[in-house]
A = this chain, B = another copy of it.
Amino acid sequence: MENVISLVEDRLKNGQWKLTNRRKHILTVLLENRGKHLSVEEVHGLANQKAPYVGLATVYRTLELFLLNDVVQSMDFGDGRKRYELCDPGSGGQQHHHLICIRCGNVVEFSRDLLKGLEPELNMRYKFKVETLQLNVFGFCRKCRPEKGSHQGTV
Q: Please, which residues of chain B bring their CB within 8 A of the CB of A134?
A: 78, 135-138
- Interface residue from B108, B126, B135 paired with A99 (Cβ < 8 Å): B126
* Contact A145:B129 (CB < 8 A) given known A134-B135, A134-B138: yes
Inter-chain contact B126/A130, CB cutoff 8 Å: no
A110 CA / B128 CA spacing, docked (Å): 11
Report the bound CA distance from A115 to B135 in whole Å. 11
Interface residues of A in 130-155 (CB under 8 A from B): 130-142, 145-146, 154
A41-93 contacts to B (CB < 8 Å):
76, 78
Given contacts A99-B122, A122-B99, A134-B135, contact A140 B128 (CB under 8 A): yes
Contacts of A76 in B (CB 8 A): 76, 78
A89 to B131 CA separation, bound complex (whole angstroms): 32
Contact A126 B138 (CB under 8 A): no
CA distance A139 to B114 in the complex (A): 19
The 7 closest A-B pairs by CB, nearest first: A127-B142, A131-B139, A129-B140, A130-B139, A129-B145, A132-B138, A134-B136
The interface of chain A, by Cβ under 8 A from chain B, is 76, 78, 99, 102, 108, 110, 114-115, 118, 121-122, 125-142, 145-146, 154
